[in-house]
Amino acid sequence: MSATSLLITFLLFYRTRGIIYAITGMSSIRLIGTIKCDLNKNLGNTGISSKTNAYVYKGRILQKSFAGSTIVDREAVAVKKISCGNENNFHIHLKEVSVMLKCDEHPNIVQYYCRETDNLDFQILIAMELCLGTVQDLMDSKIAEIGPDDISDVKLLHQIAKGVEYLHGREPEAIIHRDLKPTNILLKIVAKEVCVKLCDFGISRVLPSKKTSVTLETNSGSVGWSSPEVLRAQPRTTSANDVGRPRLS
């Protein structure tokens, strides 16, 4: 290896403080830590605010082989890449990971695998369960593997309700999603049946033990999918914020 190559390698290592950040020419492949994603395989935009944006890409998790001498790809995953813009937003959105860790064992909640961070660029990569698309995609006939007759509205709403029931009934800390809408409800095939997976806990809130509400400085959510409580700008959020949201039209 030439002196120039050694210098570049050292600078890249120093730049990321030990985080692997691989950029090869104009390649679309990005590697941070053990998460690899392809920027050409965009699965959707989950824009959060004017200062923070999030995109979901198809990717993989890397792990060492049993021999420990090589790095191999594990199963395909969805990679949510959050560009936070500043340190304050960076720490705020790390909370999404903590919420996912609390609730991803339920069959109607998207499964979380791992996360990596680039502390200098204020980026967070979250690796999670790869699904076929969202309920919005189903409504727009964009999921080839699932047709309109493969799952009824009743079964779809039943699974959404089961996921919400689990979040609200968790002990000792319940979780309020606060942004249920067709683009935040994923679909995949499990044992030849269509399965619903609630996702995107970016603005969710955890209720402290034995509390039924929490005070928020600002109301959040999506226009057209907000509950009456949010529309009335009530300062306290409760599980009722999620109840009026799951509708399909």
The closest of 21, 221, 219, 248 to 116, measured between CA atoms, is 21
Work out the burial of residue 112: count CB atoms within 10 Å of its CB; fewer than 13 is exposed, 13-18 middle, 19 or more buried. buried
Non-local (6+) Cβ contacts of 83 within 8 A are 52, 53, 54, 121, 122, 123
User: Residue 7: what are its φ and ψ, rounded to 5°?
Assistant: -65, -45
179 a catalytic residue: yes
List the catalytic residue out of 118, 137, 179, 200.
Answer: 179
Torsion angle of the four alpha carbons 39, 40, 43, 48, in this order, in degrees rounded to the nearest 10? 40
Q: Which residues are catalytic?
A: 179
